[in-house]
Amino acid sequence: MMSTAGESKLLCEMALEFPSEEHALSVFRAVETDNEGYVHAELNGSTLTTRIEASSLKSLLHTLDDFLACVSVADKVVRADVSLTPPPA
């Protein structure tokens, strides 16, 4: 836990690695609107680094679960789109 102005906060930081920078950017763009105010996310190459703060464990787990579900769906869509893309001529 970390304290900010006398208030206890729980913090979760994680890094998600994707197959390419383009893939990571597509996932990032797909979930960034849902993150506002709840998840701070940054891209560094093919790695999506996130930081989630919450005032309770229940809130942290709820936010983390929601974020990972959105990332999972976005990742599956990007992978499906890549597999449907015809090879260059």
pLDDT, tens only, 35-47: 778 899 999 999 9
Report how far residue 47's alpha carbon sits from residue 19's, in angstroms, rounded to the nearest whole number: 9
Q: Say if 88 falls within a structural domain.
A: no
Q: How many domains does the chain have?
A: 1
Report how far residue 89's alpha carbon sits from residue 76's, in angstroms, rounded to the nearest whole number: 26
Q: Say if 87 falls within a structural domain.
A: no
Q: Say if 75 falls within a structural domain.
A: yes
Report how far residue 6's alpha carbon sits from residue 69's, in angstroms, rounded to the nearest whole number: 32
Domain span holding position 65: 2-82
Output the average pLDDT for the chain.
86
Task: Read off the CATH number of the domain in which 66 is found.
Answer: 3.30.310.50
Looking at residue 68, its amino acid is: L
Q: Provide the pLDDT for residue 37.
A: 81
Q: Say if 70 falls within a structural domain.
A: yes
Q: Provide the pLDDT for residue 69.
A: 95
